[in-house]
Each structure stands twice: as C-alpha cells, then as structure tokens.
C-alpha cells in the first residue's frame, strides 16, 4: 500500500469511525498492525516483533480497527474514493 493510500485510509477512519489513539498507541500504529495481519499470512507474533509491541497491544489494535470498520454506518464501498484501494 502506498503512503498516500495509508494516510487517506487513516484520515477516513479517524473522521468516520470511533477509532482513536490510546495513551500509548497511535491510530497509525493500530492501523499498521491491522494491515500487517490482514494483508499477508502473518501471525500476531510477527506483528509484535515487527512493531516492537506486546501481545496485548497487537491484539487490541487488530480488534479496535476491525470493530471500527464493522460498526461503521457508511458502507465500505465509500472507501472507493481512496486512491489505490479496491474493494470487491
């Protein structure tokens, strides 16, 4: 994913969902961990090693991003405006 696409996705999530940073974890890191898991055959352990976070942070990040997308009232098809992101 290009940097511009990541930034657009981040902005969309912050503006259209309830995904927020926690005391120690930014939205960018949560999104990066989530994308790392869903975009390749990676395990949670892979993410903890790649981003230097603990199991709890990785698990909570994945679940928070996924729950934000699930609870989003706007259909995911509206993400089509983000350059480079194709949803089938």
Supply the pLDDT for residue 16.
Answer: 84
Confidence of residue 88 (pLDDT cuts 50, 70, 90): very low
Tens of pLDDT, residues 28-60: 999 999 999 988 888 889 999 999 999 999 999
Domain range list for the chain: 3-81
DSSP string, 7-70: HHHHHHHHHHS-----SS--HHHHHHHHHHHHTTT--HHHHHHHHT--HHHHHHHHHHHHHHHH
Supply the pLDDT for residue 61.
Answer: 93
Tens of pLDDT, residues 60-85: 999 999 888 887 755 555 555 555 55
């Amino acid at each position: 994913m290009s940097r511009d696409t990541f930034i657009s996705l981040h902005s969309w999530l912050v503006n259209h969902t309830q995904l927020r940073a926690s005391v120690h974890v930014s939205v960018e890191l949560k999104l990066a961990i989530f994308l790392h898991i869903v975009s390749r055959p990676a395990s949670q352990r892979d993410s903890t090693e790649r981003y230097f976070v603990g199991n709890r942070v990785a698990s909570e990040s994945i679940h928070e991003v996924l729950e934000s997308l699930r609870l989003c009232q706007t259909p995911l098809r509206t993400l089509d405006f983000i350059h480079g992101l194709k949803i089938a």
